[in-house]
């Protein structure tokens, strides 16, 4: 695979974000070590199949799934490179007859018969919930039934924990969405992950995250034409705000005076990247946001822990409100002239007060890669899109709550000075603008502690060895082709041990 070589990056303390590179050739003919050359005035870097294969053989790929058609999920998994361990985390509805989840397991068993290493679990698995509770992460559980909360972020967190428990030798973990109608693009995504890691420093020295930007999201118009849209409806909103946050974090509010007008040029292009990968060490250190806030919150968490210092005690977070309400108003579909929802969905909660974020222990490099393949997936309605961008802005607004406005007299006193507060004043002003833009309360997502706080030995014991109340009911974990290190044999089917 050939990519343009990274040319410029932006540093924020221990966090370094590289400007976007792009895939030039899916299959570049080169042997041996990575090679670099310049053509048409552009520098490119090429990685051999051997190099990419080495990385892929050290990667687990999580596929979070909700209600996609079985054939679509099958095609996505079929395109994941064979050396990868595949972990399907399903949150599909369960039925007594023709159970969609059992159909997914049967499909994975077929892949296992081909020699693939595959794992399946349902997000509402009883043993997994009990394991998280026993191992020290009760925040992940729904208080009404004790199972893992619904949500994409929650499913991905479960996938990370499974990868750490079942294949701890894997150094990298990737994520691809299950609703991809262009399955061949998934193969490019995984190889792009591998190329990103291949051009990075050793995980023992530096954490790495690779985030993908699709070449386009083609839309079928009423006249039958395909229109290649460069950016999704949600990304068009969240990306500019994140760029403004990074500009403000340097204490230069003038660099973020207009939406999308970062004085340096916008460099964050992957705020909502569903397709992303990272070193396993980083995956275990990141805090995880609930639902669709998970991807943009990566940037918020890294910015705070790698660059910013708290300026004050965090302001009180809103308490959960009754379903259908937000700040006393009933949720509806009212829009203003800019097609923005005036009432936004709520998903309030408080971060665990006894687990404050810890500073990063080593540098983190974020690579952004533009693919060749376009991305086709199921179209979402405007209500869903509003919920997604509201979650993205909400995680920024509430995630940086420690940087709230200073008293007016302090603000006036310092207005002519260079900001020495680590950007807190500029961020506080930006947060105020976000509320005005949203024209309603921004949802406060649940923020789960990093999995490095999880007692992994207890998690594995509870997940694999101990029976939950009610016997095997609610136990959904299956694996095919994995080698059980405890007994030195291949596992095919139920991985629970009595």
181-223: per-residue pLDDT in tens?
999 999 999 999 999 999 999 999 999 999 999 987 777 667 7
Rg (CA), the chain: 23
Tokens found for residue 56: 């892929």
How far apart CA 323 and CA 325 sit, in angstroms, is 6
pLDDT digits (tens, 9 = 90+) for 323-350: 333 333 322 333 444 433 333 433 444 4
Give the DSSP letter string of 36-77.
EEEETTEEEEE--HHHHHHHHTTEEEEEEESS--HHHHHHHH
Within 286-423, where are the H helices?
Answer: 294-306, 382-399, 408-414
Tokens found for residue 254: 């003038």
Domain 2-308+320-460: CATH superfamily, name plus number: Spore Coat Polysaccharide Biosynthesis Protein SpsA; Chain A (3.90.550.10)
Q: How is the chain split into domains, by residue range?
A: 2-308+320-460
In DSSP terms, 16 is beta-bridged to: 11, 365
Question: Would the pLDDT of 70 be above 70?
Answer: yes
Tell me how crowded residue 204 is: count the other CB atoms within 10 A of its CB.
10
- Closest CA relative to residue 357, chosen from 399, 403, 321, 296: 399
What 3-state DSSP class applies to 191?
helix
Question: Would the pLDDT of 75 be above 90?
Answer: yes
Question: Would the pLDDT of 461 be above 70?
Answer: yes
For residue 160, the surrounding DSSP H or E stretch is: helix 152-166
Question: Does residue 451 contact residue 165 with C-beta atoms inside 8 Å?
Answer: no
Say what the pLDDT of residue 33 is: 63
**Inter-axis angle of helices 424-438 and 382-399, to 10 degrees?**
160
Tokens found for residue 304: 């705070």
End-to-end distance of the chain based on CA atoms, in angstroms? 46
How far apart CA 468 and CA 466 sit, in angstroms, is 7
pLDDT digits (tens, 9 = 90+) for 249-268: 887 544 444 444 444 578 99
Say what the pLDDT of residue 401 is: 86
Band (143; pLDDT cuts 50, 70, 90): very high
Say what the pLDDT of residue 228 is: 72
How far apart CA 408 and CA 160 sit, in angstroms, is 45
Least confident of 277-291, 337-351, 352-366, 431-445: 337-351
User: Would you call 229 exposed, middle or buried from its count of C-beta atoms within 10 A (0-12, 13-18, 19+)?
Assistant: middle
What are residue 37's phi and psi, to 5 degrees?
-145, 170
What are residue 446's phi and psi, to 5 degrees?
-65, 140
Averaged pLDDT for residues 118-130:
97
Say what the pLDDT of residue 497 is: 61
How many percent of the chain have pLDDT more than 90? 58
In DSSP terms, 9 is beta-bridged to: 18
Question: Does residue 97 contact residue 466 with C-beta atoms inside 8 Å?
Answer: no
Return all residues near 17 (Cβ < 8 A) that are at least 6 apart.
Answer: 9, 10, 246, 267, 268, 366, 368
How far apart CA 167 and CA 191 sit, in angstroms, is 20
Band (40; pLDDT cuts 50, 70, 90): low
What 3-state DSSP class applies to 175?
strand
pLDDT digits (tens, 9 = 90+) for 411-456: 444 444 444 455 667 888 888 898 888 877 899 999 999 999 999 9
How many percent of the chain have pLDDT more than 70? 77
- Closest CA relative to residue 152, chosen from 327, 384, 476, 468: 384
Return all residues near 385 (Cβ < 8 A) that are at least 6 apart.
Answer: 233, 234
Say what the pLDDT of residue 37 is: 74
Output the CA angle 302-307-311, nearest 5 degrees: 110
How far apart CA 459 and CA 161 sit, in angstroms, is 9
């Amino acid at each position: 695979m050939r990519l343009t070589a990274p040319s410029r990056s932006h540093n924020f303390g221990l966090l370094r974000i590289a400007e976007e590179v792009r895939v030039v050739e899916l299959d570049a003919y080169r042997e041996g070590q990575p090679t670099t050359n310049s053509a048409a005035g552009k520098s490119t870097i090429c990685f051999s199949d051997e190099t990419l294969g080495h990385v892929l053989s050290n990667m687990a790929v999580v596929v979070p799934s909700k209600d996609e058609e079985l054939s679509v999920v099958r095609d996505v998994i079929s395109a994941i490179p064979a050396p990868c361990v595949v972990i399907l985390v399903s949150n599909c509805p369960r039925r007594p007859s023709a159970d969609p989840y059992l159909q997914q397991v049967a499909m994975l068993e077929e892949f296992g018969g081909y020699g693939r290493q595959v794992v399946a679990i349902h997000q509402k698995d009883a043993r997994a919930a009990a394991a998280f509770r026993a191992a020290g992460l009760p925040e992940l559980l729904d208080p009404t039934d004790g199972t893992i909360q619904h949500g994409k972020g929650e499913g991905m967190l479960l996938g990370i924990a499974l990868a750490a428990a079942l294949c701890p030798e894997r150094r990298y973990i990737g994520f691809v969405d299950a609703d991809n109608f262009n399955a061949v693009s998934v193969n490019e995504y995984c190889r792009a992950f591998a190329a990103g890691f291949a051009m990075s420093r050793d995980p023992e020295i530096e954490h790495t995250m690779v985030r993908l930007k699709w070449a386009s999201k083609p839309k079928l118009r009423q006249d039958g034409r395909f229109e290649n849209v460069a950016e999704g409806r949600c990304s068009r909103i969240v990306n500019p705000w994140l760029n403004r946050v990074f500009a403000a974090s340097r204490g230069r509010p003038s660099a973020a005076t207009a939406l999308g007008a970062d004085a340096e040029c916008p460099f964050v292009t992957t705020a909502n990247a569903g397709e992303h990968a990272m070193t396993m060490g980083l995956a275990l250190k990141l805090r995880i946001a609930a639902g669709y806030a998970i991807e943009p919150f990566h940037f918020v968490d890294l910015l705070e822990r790698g660059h910013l210092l708290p300026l004050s005690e965090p302001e009180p977070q809103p308490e959960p409100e009754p379903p259908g309400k937000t700040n006393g108003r009933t949720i509806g579909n009212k829009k203003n002239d800019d097609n923005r929802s005036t009432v936004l969905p709520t998903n309030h909660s408080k971060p665990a007060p006894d687990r404050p974020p810890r500073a990063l222990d080593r540098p983190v490099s974020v690579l952004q890669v533009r693919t060749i393949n376009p991305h086709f997936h199921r179209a979402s309605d405007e209500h869903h899109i509003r919920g997604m961008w509201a979650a993205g802005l909400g995680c920024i607004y509430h995630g940086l709550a420690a940087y709230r406005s200073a008293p007016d007299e302090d603000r006036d006193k310092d207005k002519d000075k260079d900001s020495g507060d680590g950007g807190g004043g500029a961020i506080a002003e930006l947060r105020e603008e976000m509320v005005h833009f949203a024209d309603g309360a921004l949802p406060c997502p649940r923020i789960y502690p990093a999995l490095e706080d999880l007692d992994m030995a207890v998690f594995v014991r509870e997940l694999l060895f101990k029976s939950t109340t009610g016997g095997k009911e609610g136990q959904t974990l299956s694996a095919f082709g994995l080698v059980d290190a405890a007994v030195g044999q291949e596992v095919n089917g139920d991985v629970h041990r009595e």
